[in-house]
A and B are shown apart, each in its own frame.
Chain A
Amino acid sequence: MPKLRVGTTSLGGCFGCHMSFLDMDERIVDLVQHIEFTRSPINDIKHCEPCDIGLIEGALCNADNVHVLKEFRENCKIIIAVGACAINGGVPAMRNHFSLQECLEEAFLDEIGLDNPQIPSDKELPLLLSKVHPIHEVVKVDYYLPGCPPSADAFVKILTDLLEGKEPSLPKEMLHYD
């Protein structure tokens, strides 16, 4: 049986979901008998090729996040929103309580101890979105894996279910949002 191809990315996230994924420790040895990673921060491949499953961590905070997410949607048969930020904006969405201008001024102009304070405007920098959004507001999401982060057990469960051709489901004790 050919291996399932899995891509992963962290958009506006903290990489905590990826760290939790790796928390499965030695179970990853069994898992890689059945899956292989395409684009992922784990192997540092930068572009998404056609694959079976895309694990998306993080919220949409800037234009690059949207670009990467759309590339995943075009290439992945199944998109899984992983963690609180991908599902409802999470901690990055706390900035939605303020205007983008207020956030930039607080960080780059008004913060104490800044030398030559200015708002970064290098054209290489992706433009920030005026509000942070969860990923299902931009692409179709097939499955959700809540948690901040989801436990390693939850990653193993959802991937094992998909490998076995079952509809993924989390037992109640694995369902948490924090």
Chain B
Amino acid sequence: MSNASNTIKIDGVVIPFKEGQTIMDAALAADIYIPHLCHKPGLSPHGSCKLCTVDVNGRCVSSCTMPATEGQEIDNNTPALNEVRKTITQMLFIEGNHLCPSCEKTGDCTLQAIAYHLGMLDGHFSQFYPRREIDASHTSLVLDRDRCIMCELCVRASREVDGKDVFATSGRGINRHLIVHSPSGKLGDSNIERDDLAAHICPVGAILIKGDAYKVPIGQRTFDLHSVAETNLDKIILTKVRHHDA
């Protein structure tokens, strides 16, 4: 049942959708930004970060998992929804060790960029300061579990694109953590490689490429130059500026 006139309305703007698309798919195709962390086009939707929560005909749903259907009237960029999204972002910050000045990912971190976008000034809640295992056993990768936000992008990238199944999550609640599929449980014993999508997809500083951290100086990184709300960021080839003493 394909119908070329299928449309939904986001914040009063009528946009088309194709059969099988989610609200997120249709919004991104129409250049409308809905904040999201655990979603990446091309990977199966996960619906866990809840930042993409929108109001569809009076009900709150995750736009990355909700199929677009004819006649949906959707509220997205409203003060009330953005306030809730900011609170979710604050909880993500305080549940991990997201100390930007000492994190190699600063400026390239989507969590940080969303916090900027939502105008977050503080963490509001008491810091958890978790102490999870750091794994630097791999020759080209570091895994810092204290920064993991459980978005499972690496899990899906490894399974669906790399065809390797290197990552999974284990434990419940606050004890939930990322595990590595290898005899020792260490990244160095797994078959992940530097060029795998799973090695590069982390939206925060949990999976880092060794030796790459400071190639681009702070102040000239992705979100120093762009807003997270630009929907074509994946396509932008950044002008990498070398440090004056590099």
A binding-site residues for B, Cβ under 8 Å? 81, 84, 87-91, 93-94, 96-97, 131, 133-134, 136-137, 141, 143-146, 148, 170, 172, 175-178
* Docked complex Cα distance between A93 and B122 (Å): 15
The number of chain B residues touching the other chain, given as a range, is 20 to 34
* Docked complex Cα distance between A177 and B219 (Å): 11
Main secondary structure of the interface of A (DSSP, over half): mixed
Query: In the complex, which residues of chain B have a beta carbon less than 8 angstroms from the beta carbon of A136?
Result: 122, 124
Q: Tell which of B28-36, B100-108, B165-173, B231-239 binds the partner.
A: B100-108
- Assess the A134–B131 pair: CB atoms within 8 A: no
Query: In the complex, which residues of chain A have a beta carbon less than 8 angstroms from the beta carbon of B101?
Result: 84, 90-91, 148, 177-178
Q: How far is the CB of A174 from chain B (nearest CB, A)?
A: 10
Query: In the complex, which residues of chain A have a beta carbon less than 8 angstroms from the beta carbon of B93?
Result: 88
Main secondary structure of the interface of B (DSSP, over half): loop
From the candidates B94, B124, B131, B218, name the one contacting A178 in the complex (CB within 8 A).
Answer: B218
Q: List 12 A-B contacts (CB under 8 A).
A: A88-B122, A90-B99, A91-B99, A96-B97, A131-B129, A144-B121, A144-B122, A146-B122, A172-B117, A175-B119, A175-B121, A177-B115
Taking CB as reference atom, which chain B residue is nearest A168?
B121
- Assess the A178–B123 pair: CB atoms within 8 A: no
* Docked complex Cα distance between A137 and B94 (Å): 12
User: Which B residues, 122 to 138, have Cβ-Cβ distances below 8 Å to chain A?
Assistant: 122-124, 126-127, 129, 131
* Docked complex Cα distance between A143 and B121 (Å): 9
Query: In the complex, which residues of chain B have a beta carbon less than 8 angstroms from the beta carbon of A96?
Result: 97, 129, 131
Query: In the complex, which residues of chain A have a beta carbon less than 8 angstroms from the beta carbon of B152?
Result: none
- Assess the B99–A94 pair: CB atoms within 8 A: yes
- Assess the A177–B97 pair: CB atoms within 8 A: no
Q: Does B112 interact with chain A (Cβ within 8 Å)?
A: yes
Taking CB as reference atom, which chain B residue is nearest A136?
B122
